Every structure is written in C-alpha cells, then in structure tokens.
Chain A
C-alpha cells in the first residue's frame, strides 16, 4: 500500500477524468477554435432541446398543489397522532411518560391519574409544536406505538395551540368505528416480519 492512496483521498476509485481540449497557443489555433465553435451549432442543440420539451406531452414536473398532493412516505415525520387499540378502541397510551422524558426540545407534557380501576389514565397530553423539531424520538421510544407521526404536513393554523392538544391528535371515536384508523407503518413501528422474532413463552413451567 503506497502513500499515494492516503494523500489523494479526494479522488475516489471510479472517477472519470475529463481531458479538456488543450488551450490554443498561437493565433492560428485561436482562430481555428473560434471558427469551429461558431459553426458547430451547439447553441442550436440547446434550442432544439427546449423546443422538444415544449411539445412533449405530460412531462411537467408541476404538482398543482391544492388540487393534487404528493403521497408522503411512511417514515415522513409531520404532525403527531395518538392512536387507539385496534380491538377495543381504548387509547393505546399507557401514560408511561417515556416520550416526555426523551423529548429533546421538552415540548411534550402529559398529566396522568389513576382511574377507578387503578389503571393509569392520561388526562392531558399536549405537544408544543412551536418547539417540536420533529425528530421522531417520541414515536421511536413509545412502547405501545401510541404516539406516531402522521403525514399531515399542512400545519398552518390561526392558533399556536392547534394540532397540539390531546383531542386534536387522538383518533376520534367515530372515525375509529368507521375503521379509518390506519395502522402506522413508519417511524418506530414494528417491521412486517416482527412476528417471526417472537419467542413463545413456554407454559410448561
């Protein structure tokens, strides 16, 4: 291994080097270069390309936004959602407070109490979206996949508190009953083959 491999680290293997044409030295060479450049017609190649694009059908890159929207990738991190359990419809959040703890901009705040069955109940759950940096730690740390990121990136609002209260984020019951709650495939969710990694508890002992 020679020293050159370490000293020339800006050149990765596979680089293609372009050998530019040599600079003209004499006046005659200057004239030849100017003449060939003037008559080569490269400018007209440019004209042809834009004309071709003008008449080509359906190659526009414009998304006419309010009428059509791009589909967000599952791992896109926009405004949060609180999900419900698929079977019972009760809230998934168990009030463990991990998201509150891990939040690096300290924008999650939850209040909990014990309900009549001595189960923990989340009374308030707010995210201050003025401070949230959408890092996704809360969704990643959540053991119940309760707090997730949705793809709703249209978060302009009149009030700072909008989108950030529990009733904004929690799936409404009627929507849930209409089976509209989508299982979240993105940040912090289990992979498709997660079941194959589960070891069954031996009941023998």
Chain B
C-alpha cells in the first residue's frame, strides 16, 4: 500500500471535517442574522461587531454546559446517539467532490476523499442512515416528546427517501454513472448543459426531498417546537445537543453540494469565474434558500407530508422517469 495515499486521505479528511464543521457553525450565525432581518429584528448584536463572535460565545456555552443524562433514559444509547448525527453527515461527504482538481507544489490534488463508483448512492445511503441519530435519541430518552419526535423521524424517512431516490433516477439514466465526478463532467458545457434544464421536474422533487431530509422548515416536523417541544432533542443539553446541531448543518451543506453538482453544473467554471468560486456561490445560494424558506413558510403536518410525498411527488417522479426513458430510447 502506498503510504502517500494514506497520508493524503487522512489530511483531506481532517481538512473536510474542520472546514465543514466551521462552515456549519458559521451557518448557524448566518441563519440567525438572516431570519432576524427577514423578521424585522436585529439578531445577535452584542458579541463582537454585529454579533459575529456570538459563535465563540455559543461554543463556549455548549462545551462548558452540564452534561445531563435523564434518570430513566437508556444511558448507553442516549449517550451514543448524538455521535451518529455528525458521524454519518461527515462520512457522507467522503464521496463528494468539493472543488475541481488543483495543483499544489507540483502535486495534483483531487478534492474528494474517495472517488467510489457508486458515489451518489453512498452519499444518499449514509445520509439516510443518519436518521438513526434522532430515532435512537428519541427512543432512549424516556420522554414523550422525544418519542413522538422519533416516530416522526421514521415518517420523514419513509416519505422523503422514495422521492429523492426516484427523482435522482431520471438524471442518472441520462448520465449513466453514479460517480459524482462523472455527473459533474457531464455538464461541462456551460449553463446550457446544466441538468436543471433537461430535468426541471427531477430538480424540484430533489430539492423538496432535500428539505425533508435535512428537517428544514416546511418539513421540520421531527423537532417542531409548538407541537413536540424539541422532538428527539428535548432531553439533550450541552455538547450532546451541539453534536445534533453540527450534524444537521453538515447535512444541509451535503444536500447543497449534491444539488449543485447534480443539477446546477457543479464545479465547472463559468465564463471567467473559476469552478471553485462557482460551487461556493451555488451552495451559498442554496443554504440561503433553506433560511429564506424557513422565514417565509409555515410547516406541514406529518400526515400532510406523507400525503404530499406518496400521493403527489412519487407519481410525478415516476412519470418523469417514464418520460425520460421514452426520450432516451
């Protein structure tokens, strides 16, 4: 085994972990600010200029808070469940190409930890396995709100998984490869070749499923405060809760990368804008969309979500696959 590859992979993994964790933390600040301005508030203002150091304050608070494990909780599972959320979220990023290839000191770096040929399948699978975190957390908490949150987790999983899978099938039929690098290279010819133009329906469906997968607002039913306090996270505090939080935002970033790469041309350069900037712009826009929708829209009930996913979105996805197949033949 070549040691250089091992060292390179370890370095890449550490970089991805730290950068994405930092981005996730910063996304919480951005979210508070954007929501505040959209709701005619100011948001955090006191720690640092315009509250930019609120991140550090929150981090210190989370790390130093007392770690409470409820008396009747199933303690090993209760303690282990928060680890699953960021672990799966970061594992899913192993197959995502973040940037185009670049050269450092004459050494070509491919900014993907592992280019496996079933990349998109791996990402979707591991991200869905992340649903074990709220499920186990809710079931081990011995708290009725947490249990309801866990039950809703299963509902969410059953709903969005079928839609996101079927929606992806149509573009994958056109590309003929599951590797995200191949998917990116398929759209190399400028804006006109982006898959969003040839597969607009699949794009819409995948975005909707992405909102459900990351538990963002129209589908935030597993931790909706007005109904079930905080869902699965009701009994968690301190850094254990913080791990859920990091996992949630890392998932948002993963979904943003997936949508950008599959439908919006990925990291291909556009005109004079280099590819790295392009993909950063795209995922920023997509994360802004997450926050924007949270400020504007109400959320749906669990039964409405199942109704929407199974009775509306799934048939549309099937029709989309059918039409794509006919056109391809």
Contact = CB atoms under 8 A, between A and B. Distances in A.
A7 interface: no
B41 A60 contact: yes
B241 interface: no
A50 B42 contact: no
A141 B104 CA distance: 85
Contacts of B293: 47
Nearest to A55: B37
Contacts of A49: 296
A49 B296 CA distance: 8
A51 interface: yes
A29 to B, nearest CB: 18
Contacts of B40: 53, 59-62
B296 A54 contact: no
Contact of A61 (B38, B41, B292): B41
Contacts of B292: 47, 50-51
A51 B296 CA distance: 9
Contacts of B3: none
A11 B329 CA distance: 66
Interface residues of B, number: 13
A53 B296 CA distance: 11
A46 interface: yes
A36 interface: no
A8 B99 CA distance: 70
Interface in B264-295: 292-293, 295
Interface in A40-82: 43, 46-47, 49-51, 53-54, 59-62, 64
A106 to B, nearest CB: 42
Contacts of B37: 53-54, 60
A54 B38 contact: yes
Contacts of A50: 38-39, 292, 295-296
Contacts of B39: 50, 53
B297 interface: yes
A29 B235 CA distance: 47
B16 interface: no
Nearest to B41: A62
Contacts of A51: 38, 292
Nearest to A44: B296
A61 B297 CA distance: 21
Nearest to A49: B296
Interface string B37-57: 111111001000000000000
B34 interface: yes
Nearest to A43: B297
A50 B34 CA distance: 10
A60 B40 CA distance: 4
Interface in B9-51: 34, 37-42, 45
Contacts of B297: 43, 46-47
B296 A46 contact: yes
Contacts of B34: 54
Given A46-B297, A47-B296, A53 B38 contact: yes
Contacts of A61: 40-41
Residue of A47, A50, A64 most packed against chain B (CB within 10 A): A50
A31 to B, nearest CB: 12
Contact of A64 (B38, B42, B295, B296): B42
Contacts of B42: 60, 62, 64
A54 B38 CA distance: 4
Nearest to B33: A54
B299 to A, nearest CB: 13
Contacts of A64: 42, 45
B201 to A, nearest CB: 13
30 contacts: A43-B296, A43-B297, A46-B296, A46-B297, A47-B293, A47-B296, A47-B297, A49-B296, A50-B38, A50-B39, A50-B292, A50-B295, A50-B296, A51-B38, A51-B292, A53-B37, A53-B38, A53-B39, A53-B40, A54-B38, A59-B40, A60-B37, A60-B40, A61-B40, A61-B41, A62-B40, A62-B41, A62-B42, A64-B42, A64-B45
Given A53-B39, A53-B40, A62-B41, 4 more contacts: A47-B293, A51-B292, A60-B37, A60-B40
